[in-house]
Amino acid sequence: YGTLGCKVYVVEMMKEILPMMDLDVVKVVKAELAKKGVEILTSAKVVGIKDNGREAAVQVEIGGARKELIGEKVLVSVGRKTNTEALNMDKVGIAHDRGRITVNDKMETSVTGVYAIGDCNGRIMLAHVASDQGEIAAENAMGHKAEFNPATNPSCVYTNPEIAGVGLTEEQAKEKGLEYVVGKFPLMANGKALIMNGGTGLVK
């Protein structure tokens, strides 16, 4: 919407947007959003939304103070949930947690020989993760031994520019007390990136 010229506000309860991603990479996305006029409010909480007909008034609490944002549309994006109610899992004894099918690292459910992959198990709701889980499930169904390792599956966020990462972020490495070395490569030194987006971003 910002690219199309709309004024956009992002209200985030956490102290930073995209907390699962590396902070250096998040800074690039924030800078690009700011260029498009997107205003990001972090450590902020939506406490009310009033429908005024042609517009909506959003009440936001930041540091104990209240702020009102006016907009034509309000998009509430607070996560995803599974859509498994029609499966009647309780009737066949498949364990689940509020619709998220419980699986082990072999992608097997509580019923031997029944596997669940992808969004329905609620682990990591990304298409390429579902593909990996499908391979794991198929191998185990055929008598082989394979286990799903979430640490080796890339995370991605479809922002503009897009973000992708695998393994620990620098912040997570610090929290774990690990010794590490940082290497960075600016994409403005990459020919394809220059052609595609002007060289915005980095590899870390």
Q: Which of 59, 21, 16, 22 is nearest to 41 (CA)?
A: 16
Hey, is 30 helix, strand or coil? helix
Q: Give dist(CA 40, CA 2) in Å, integer.
A: 12
CA–CA separation, 116 vs 137, rounded Å? 8
What's the Rg (C-alpha) of the chain?
Answer: 21
CA gap 153, 130 in Å, rounded: 10
Are 40 and 13 spatial neighbours (Cβ–Cβ below 8 Å)?
A: no
Alpha helices in the chain (DSSP H): 23-35, 89-92, 127-141, 170-175, 191-197
Q: Which two tokens stand for residue 47?
A: 């406490």
CA distance 44 to 10: 10
**pLDDT band for position 108 (50/70/90)?**
very high
The sign one gets for the Cα dihedral 86, 90, 92, 96 is positive
Is 111 in contact with 94 (CB distance < 8 Å)?
A: yes
Confidence band of 80 (pLDDT split at 50, 70, 90): confident
**Which residue shows structure tokens 């987006």?**
197
pTM above 0.75, yes or no: yes
3-state DSSP call for residue 130?
helix
Q: What is the pLDDT of residue 192?
A: 93
Contacts of 198 (CB under 8 A, 6+ apart): 188
Regarding predicted confidence, which is higher, 161 or 121?
121
Residue-level pLDDT at 197: 82
Residue 114 to residues 23, 127, 133, 173, 182, Cα–Cα distance (Å): 40, 20, 13, 36, 43
Contacts of 139 (CB under 8 A, 6+ apart): 145, 146
Summarize pLDDT for 137-156 with one digit per residue, the tens.
999 999 999 999 998 889 99
For residue 51, what are the β-bridge partners?
A: 56
